């Protein structure tokens, strides 16, 4: 598990987690052949947090969905 500072933890809870149900539904609809969407969602979260650690993210939702799409396409 990633250890987050308080500021990142709050950002993640406010900007990313509210979109999780929509992200999961979107992944199931767009990529029905995914065998384990849970792993993809967790990897997406990890990548978003890594990216945010290096630079600000202007649109968290757009970055989240774009990251998930790119990971799904890589699979």
Q: What is the pLDDT of residues 21-74, one digit of tens each?
A: 999 999 999 999 998 899 999 999 999 999 999 999 999 999 999 999 999 999
pTM of the predicted model as reported, rounded to 2 decimal places: 0.88
Burial 26-52 (b: 16+ CB within 10 A, else e): bbeeebeeeeebeebbebbbebbbeeb
Q: Where are the domains of the chain?
A: 6-74
Element (H, E) at 39: helix 37-54
């Amino acid at each position: 598990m990633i250890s987050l500072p308080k500021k990142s933890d709050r950002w993640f809870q406010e900007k990313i987690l509210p979109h999780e149900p929509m992200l999961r539904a979107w992944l199931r609809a767009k990529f029905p052949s995914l065998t384990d969407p849970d792993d993809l969602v967790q990897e997406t979260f990890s990548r978003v947090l890594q990216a945010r650690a290096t630079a600000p993210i202007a649109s968290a939702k757009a970055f989240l969905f774009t990251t998930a799409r790119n990971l799904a396409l890589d699979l």
